[in-house]
Amino acid sequence: MDLDFTSAEEAFRAEARAWLRAHVPAAPLPSLETQEGFAAHRVWEAQLAADRWSVVSWPEEYGGRGADIVRWLVFEEEYYAAGAPGRVGQNGISLLAPTLFDHGTHEQRARVLPAMATGEVVWAQAWSEPEAGSDLASLTSRAVRTDGGWLLSGQKTWSSRAAFADRAFGLFRSEPDTPKPHQGLTYLMFDLRAPGVTVRPIGRLDGKPAFAELFLDDVFVPDEDVIGEPGQGWRVAMSTAGNERGLTLRSPAASSPPPTASSTSGGRRAVHRSCGTRWPTP
C-alpha cells in the first residue's frame, strides 16, 4: 500500500497553503465571544466561503469542494499551521450539517447549508436544560402540535454561541406519555429572534458570554424545520452526538504544537492517525 500523498493531494495542500498565507489576518481577530469579535469572525467565514474554503468536504452545490477525507484533513492541518481564526460557525458546520446530510431533506439542505457556509447564519446548540445535562433524555422542554407546525416552550442552558447567533437546533419532548424518556422527542431548528424567544447570555469570570440561556414561550416553528420524523428525535440526536465526538478532528493537530513543514508531509499514515471517527458522507 502506498502511504505517500498523491501529486493531486500535494497540489491541493499547496493551493490551500498559498490561499491561507495570503488571507489569514496578520493580527488575531477579537474574541468571538464578544459582539465585535463575533462580527469579525463572520466576515472571515465569508472570505473562506467566497473561494470555497469554508466547507471543503461538502458537495459543490452547497459551497464546498467535494474533498475526500485526506484532502479535508490536509486542509485542517494547513489551517491550523497558518494560525487562522477559530470557526464561529462550528456548531453548524461540524454538528448540524452532518445531521442534515444524514437525516434532513433536500429542501432543508438547500435552504440551510449555503447561508451556514458563508457565516450569514450562525447556529447555536440548544440541548442542555437545568435538569437535563449529561442525562439529556430527561429534558422537559416541549414541542406541541399546532396548525402548520409546533409551539416550543421551556428553557435551554449552556447554549454555545447563542449570545450572538441567529438560529439554534435542539431536542424537544413532543409525546409526554411515552414509556421511556428517550422516546417521543422531536429534533427542531428555530430562530433565536422569533417572538417568544429570550436569550440571556451567561458571563464567564472574564465577562465574556461563551454561552447563553434560552427561554422559549410558545415559539412557533414550521413543520419544515423538523429534522427527521416527529417523535424520533433521539435517533437524530445520536447522529449529531457522534459528530460532536468527532470534533477532535477540528483541527487534527488541535492538541499539538503547530506542525512544521516536515510534520505536514508525513504522508497518508500521519493523516490517518488523526482520524478518530467515521467520515460523514453527504
pLDDT given at position 266: 52
User: pLDDT digit string (tens) for 167-217?
Assistant: 999 999 999 889 888 899 999 999 999 999 999 999 877 778 889 999 999
How many Å apart are CA 87 and CA 265, to the nearest integer?
24
Say if CB 147 and CB 135 are below 8 A apart.
no
Q: Residue range 65-70: average pLDDT? A: 94
Say if CB 243 and CB 280 are below 8 A apart.
yes
Say if CB 262 and CB 56 are below 8 A apart.
no
User: pLDDT digit string (tens) for 145-166?
Assistant: 999 999 999 999 999 999 999 9
Return the exposure string of 139-165: e unless at least 16 CB atoms fall within 10 Å of the residue's CB, then b. Answer: bebbbeeeeebbbbbbbbbbbbbbbbb
Q: Is the per-residue pLDDT at 75 higher than 80?
A: yes
Lowest mean pLDDT among 98-112, 212-226, 238-252: 238-252
| Of the candidates 147, 167, 172, the residue with the CA atom closest to the CA atom of residue 231 | 172
User: pLDDT digit string (tens) for 14-28?
Assistant: 999 999 999 999 999
pLDDT given at position 132: 79
Q: Is the per-residue pLDDT at 282 higher than 60?
A: no
pLDDT given at position 268: 54
Q: pLDDT over 70 for what percent of the chain? A: 86
pLDDT given at position 280: 45
Helices (H), 93-150: 97-103, 106-118
Residues 6+ positions from 220 with CB-CB distance below 8 Å:
146, 149, 150, 151, 152, 194, 195, 196
Mean residue pLDDT of the chain comes to: 87
Give me the active site residues, please. Answer: 244
pLDDT tier, 245 (very low <50, low <70, confident <90, very high otherwise): low
Q: pLDDT over 90 for what percent of the chain? A: 72
Q: Is the per-residue pLDDT at 252 higher than 50?
A: no
- Helix-, strand-, coil-residue percentages of the chain, each rounded to 5: 40, 20, 40
Is 33 strand, coil or helix?
Answer: coil
pLDDT given at position 272: 47
Asked, as a colleague might, if the bond just before 256 is cis with ω within 30 of 0, I would say: no
